[in-house]
C-alpha cells in the first residue's frame, strides 16, 4: 500500500466521558510523509488529546480521523497502528521495575513476536543501532527502574524507534532531558525523517529544543488549532 500522508483529521471533535466540554473542537490536520510536525501550546490546550486521536486511542464523536488511510473507528486500525511508534507523556518506570533497558527496547518488536522467541540477527542489530543513536549502549543491561529520568526517556524513545515506524509520535519527549539530550533527540528524529521518509509528530509545550528541526508547527489553544491550519 502507498500513502502520501500518515494522518488526516477532518472536522474532528473529541470529548472525554463525564466532561461537559469538548477537549478538541473542529480540528483539521494532515501529517504528510517525510515531515516533522511540532504541536505546541500551553497546558490543557489539547495536545495529548490530539496525538492520541491521531493514533485512534481516542475516537472522535464528530468528524473523521484516518491513520494511513484507515478510519480510526475501524477494527483495521490495529494494523495501521503497527506502522507507528508512540511514546506517551507519562513514561516513567517505578524504581522496582526489573526489566533491563535491552528488554524494554525489545518490547518495540512486540506486535511481531512474542517475548519468548529469540531475536533474529537483524533485530539484534537494530537494538544496537538505536542504542548507539540515543547514546545508551552502556545502559543496555541495567534495570530500567535504576536509571535517571532522562536515561529512561532515551530508552523509551529507543523502544519506539526500534521497529522503524513509518510514523513516530512523541508526547513531550524533552521533559526530562538536559540540553545535550534535547539536541541529540532532535537531530536523531530529523535524520530519521529524512532517511526513512517517515512522519514524526512531536508534542512539546517548549518549542526551543525542536523548532529549528521542524517542517510544520501547529499551535493549539483551548482545544483548537490557532495557527498552522494551512497544513490541514
Positions that interact with Mg ion (CB under 5 A):
47-48, 89
* Segment interacting with ligand ATP, rule: CB under 6 A, options 44-52, 54-62, 72-80, 109-117: 44-52
Which residue from 40, 49, 151, 153 is in contact with ligand ATP, where contact means CB under 6 A?
49
By beta-carbon proximity to ligand ATP, the closer residue of 45 and 70 is: 45
By beta-carbon proximity to ligand ATP, the closer residue of 23 and 147 is: 23
The CA–CA distances, whole Å, from 126 to 102, 159, 190 equal 11, 10, 18
CB 176, min distance to ligand ATP, A:
14
Residue 46 touches ligand ATP, criterion: CB under 6 A: yes
Which residues, in sequence order, are CB contacts of 154 under 8 Å at separation 6+?
134, 135, 136, 177, 181, 185
By beta-carbon proximity to Mg ion, the closer residue of 23 and 67 is: 23
Residue 190 touches ligand ATP, criterion: CB under 6 A: no
Among Mg ion, ligand ATP, none, the one that 118 touches (CB under a kind-dependent 5 to 8 A) is none
Vertex 226 angle, CA 225 and 231, to 5°: 60
Among ligand ATP, Mg ion, none, the one that 22 touches (CB under a kind-dependent 5 to 8 A) is none
Among ligand ATP, Mg ion, none, the one that 131 touches (CB under a kind-dependent 5 to 8 A) is none
Residue 195 touches ligand ATP, criterion: CB under 6 A: no
> Do the Cβ atoms of 6 and 30 come closer than 8 Å?
no
Which residue from 47, 126, 163, 166 is in contact with ligand ATP, where contact means CB under 6 A?
47
What DSSP string describes 125-145? HHHHHHHHHTT-GGGTTSBGG
| Burial label, 170 (beta-carbon count in 10 A; 0-12, 13-18, 19+) | buried
Residue 43 touches ligand ATP, criterion: CB under 6 A: yes
Q: Which three cell numbers stand for residue 72?
A: 480510526
Distance from C-alpha of 138 to C-alpha of 120, rounded to nearest angstrom: 21
Pairing of strands 167-171, 5-14: unpaired
Name the site residues for ligand ATP (rule: CB under 6 A): 16, 19, 23, 41, 43-49, 89, 205
Amino acid at each position: 500500500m502507498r500513502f502520501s500522508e500518515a494522518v488526516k483529521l477532518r472536522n474532528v471533535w473529541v470529548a472525554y466521558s463525564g466532561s461537559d466540554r469538548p477537549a478538541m473542537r473542529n480540528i483539521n490536520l494532515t501529517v504528510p510523509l517525510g515531515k516533522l510536525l511540532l504541536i505546541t501550546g500551553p497546558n490543557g490546550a489539547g495536545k495529548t488529546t490530539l496525538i492520541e486521536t491521531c493514533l485512534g486511542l481516542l475516537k472522535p464523536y464528530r468528524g473523521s480521523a484516518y491513520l494511513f488511510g484507515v478510519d480510526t473507528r475501524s477494527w483495521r486500525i490495529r494494523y495501521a497502528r503497527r506502522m507507528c511508534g508512540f511514546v506517551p507523556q507519562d513514561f516513567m518506570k517505578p524504581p522496582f521495575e526489573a526489566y533491563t533497558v535491552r528488554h524494554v527496547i525489545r518490547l518495540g518488536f512486540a506486535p511481531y513476536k512474542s517475548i519468548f522467541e529469540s531475536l533474529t540477527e537483524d533485530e539484534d542489530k537494530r537494538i544496537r543501532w538505536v542504542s548507539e543513536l540515543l547514546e545508551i549502549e552502556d545502559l543496555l543491561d541495567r534495570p530500567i527502574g535504576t536509571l535517571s529520568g532522562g536515561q529512561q526517556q532515551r530508552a523509551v524513545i529507543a523502544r519506539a524507534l526500534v521497529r522503524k515506524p513509518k510514523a513516530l509520535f512523541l508526547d513531550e519527549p524533552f521533559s526530562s532531558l538536559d540540553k545535550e539530550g534535547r539536541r541529540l533527540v532532535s537531530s536523531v528524529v530529523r535524520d530519521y525523517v529524512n532517511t526513512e521518509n517517515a512522519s514524526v509528530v512531536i508534542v512539546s509545550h517548549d518549542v526551543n529544543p525542536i523548532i529549528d528541526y521542524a517542517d510544520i508547527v501547529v499551535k493549539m489553544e483551548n482545544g483548537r488549532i490557532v495557527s498552522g491550519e494551512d497544513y490541514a
